[in-house]
Amino acid sequence: MFTGIVHGIGNIVFIEKKKKSNIYMVKLPSILSQDLKIGASVAHNGCCLTVKCIDNDFIVCDAVEETLKNTNLGILNIGDYINIERSVKYGDEIGGHIISGHIIDTTEISKILKNNDNCTLWLKVRNVNLMKYIFYKGFVCLDGVSLTISDIIKNEFCVNIIPHTLLSTTIKYKKNGDLMNLEIDFYTQTIVDTTERLINKKYKNFDLKSEII
């Protein structure tokens, strides 16, 4: 479990690409490697990966085929920077919103608007079926950053980035066309899917009764 509050920026120092998985070695900020244990969960750009090896400030994690297909991890290169968050512990402050680290898809940056130290990102949802989960003032997680939706136009939505978030995450490196990992708020997804299922069930029963009559 994570909160969408990025703890620091990691640097990819090694990638081993296999047929159906990749192995990543990432250098963490020293403070994030403290008390880290093998088997721990660490969010890489919002994607939950399991630590299988630790060497001082360096960690090694695997990303399987499904992860590479649904996230931007598969297009990263050695030298790239990623947002890092350690898993939340009992008693920690929840400053963002509860996220699982399970990326649903990637979304493409269509426009970046900068005004002094503030920034607005417009993002295009490539799978239009996911737009039913996008609500004004709703939560999303982009590359591991908990953000609030401030506007929606067709299959695009925008989020506002405050100076602190811009400074402390990889968003400052983003450009038009870049892909960001998208995780939908779990509770929003559950409510939408449940409501949709109940409505479909109601209409299905209504149609059956109509045929009998």
CATH number at residue 46: 2.40.30.20
Query: What is the per-residue pLDDT across 5-48, written as a single tens digit (0 to 9) for each?
Result: 999 999 999 999 998 999 999 999 999 999 999 999 999 999 99
Q: Considering the entire predicted model, what is its pTM? A: 0.89
Are 123 and 179 part of one and the same domain?
yes
- The reply to whether 43 falls in a domain is yes
Query: What is the per-residue pLDDT across 19-30, written as a single tens digit (0 to 9) for each?
Result: 899 999 999 999
Closest CA to 10 of 80, 63, 62: 80
- The reply to whether 200 falls in a domain is no
Question: Do the beta carbons of residue 125 and residue 110 sit within 8 Å?
Answer: no
Which residues constitute the domain of residue 43? 8-86
pLDDT (average), residues 112-133: 92
Looking at 39, 57, 86, the residue that finishes a domain is: 86
pLDDT (average), residues 181-209: 81
E strand segments, 46-163:
47-55, 58-64, 81-86, 105-115, 118-125, 139-142, 145-153, 156-161
CA distance 93 to 83: 19
- The reply to whether 91 falls in a domain is no
> What is the number of structural domains in the chain?
2
Are 80 and 110 part of one and the same domain?
no
Are 128 and 63 part of one and the same domain?
no
CA distance 34 to 102: 25
Q: How many residues does the chain have?
A: 213
b/e per residue, 106-128, with b = 16+ CB within 10 A?
A: bbebeeeeeeeeebebbbebeee
